[in-house]
Amino acid sequence: MTRTLLLVSVLLAPTLAFAQSAGRQQYISDDITVTLREQPRNDAAPAGALKSGAKVSVLESLGPESFTRIRTADGREGWVTSRFLSSQPAAKERYLQAQQSLDEAQKRAANLERELTAAQQQLGLAKPAFELARENEALKASIASLQQDNGAIQQRYDVERAKRRTLIAGASLVGVGVLLGLLLPWIGGGRKKRRYGDF
């Protein structure tokens, strides 16, 4: 049975690797550090660590539940667990980009507001002031849209953070259980068993 599974895995591995499109951009998922390994195994020697949001190029994939060979921006190559790759930047990075766009739009709106005031004071003409006001309204609408996008990204980021905390808590409980399972027999092994009739 094991030989059959091994044979099927060996035969299907190249097919799965070619099915994945090599060279496309991927990103390391949110707020984690992923170990870059020399071979596609969990016990392989580490070749480095990648923070969430790191941009990598896919060279080869063994499937979504296995490993993917990647190249980092600084040219290092290695294997990472496929589930840590995402086709989009981390939610935190998207949030920061949206925040930066919002800040820039607010600065532009403030500049236009000053220009509008100066134009109204200097010219006293309705037409230039009307055009600036219309542009200002368009920027205000753009700011409102960016604020809405920013709120949605923040909400998604909070949900992902809550999921990560739950996952870490579960992994910690499993780790404590394994540790107790290893320590309790060792601690209890030092006591002699009483025989019937011993006091």
Domain count, the chain: 2
* pLDDT score for 190: 56
Domain hosting 114: range is 91-170
Residues 100 and 162 grouped into a single domain: yes
Mean pLDDT to the nearest integer, 176-186: 82
Residue 54 burial class via C-beta count within 10 angstroms: exposed 0-12, middle 13-18, buried 19 and up:
buried
Please, are residues 56 and 50 in contact by the beta-carbon 8 Å criterion? Answer: yes
Same domain, 62 and 113: no
Q: 162, exposed or middle or buried, with CB in 10 Å at 0-12, 13-18, 19+?
A: exposed
Residue count of the chain: 199
Q: Are 35 and 84 in contact (CB under 8 A)?
A: no
Task: Please tell me the pTM assigned to this model.
Answer: 0.37
3-state secondary structure the chain: CHHHHHHHHHHHHHHHHHHCCCCCEEEECCCCEEEEECCCCCCCCEEEEEECCCEEEEEEECCCCCEEEEEECCCCEEEEEHHHEECCCCHHHHHHHHHHHHHHHHHHHHHHHHHHHHHHHHCCCHHHHHHHHHHHHHHHHHHHHHHHHHHHHHHHHHHHHHHHHHHHHHHHHHHHHHHHHHHHHHHHCCCCCCCCCCC
Selection from 90-99, 106-115, 120-129 with the highest mean pLDDT: 106-115
Q: What is the pLDDT of residue 18?
A: 46
Whether residue 96 is found in the same domain as residue 163: yes
Which residue, of 63, 86, 109, is where some domain finishes?
Answer: 86
Domain membership of residue 4 (yes or no) is no
Same domain? 38 vs 72 = yes
Q: Does residue 35 fall inside a structural domain? A: yes
- The answer on 130 and 95 residing in a single domain is yes
Higher pLDDT, 28 or 180: 180
Nearest to 95 by CA among 159, 167, 185, 3: 159
Bigger pLDDT: 167 or 8? Answer: 167
Cβ contacts of residue 94 below 8 Å, gap of 6+?
88, 153
pLDDT at 127 over 70: no
Convert the pLDDT of each residue in 68-100 to its tens digit. Answer: 999 998 999 999 988 888 777 767 777 778 888
Lowest mean pLDDT across 22-31, 88-97, 156-165: 22-31
Residue 133 forms part of a structural domain: yes
147: tokens are 């604020």
Pair 59, 115 in one domain: no
Same domain for 149 and 117? yes
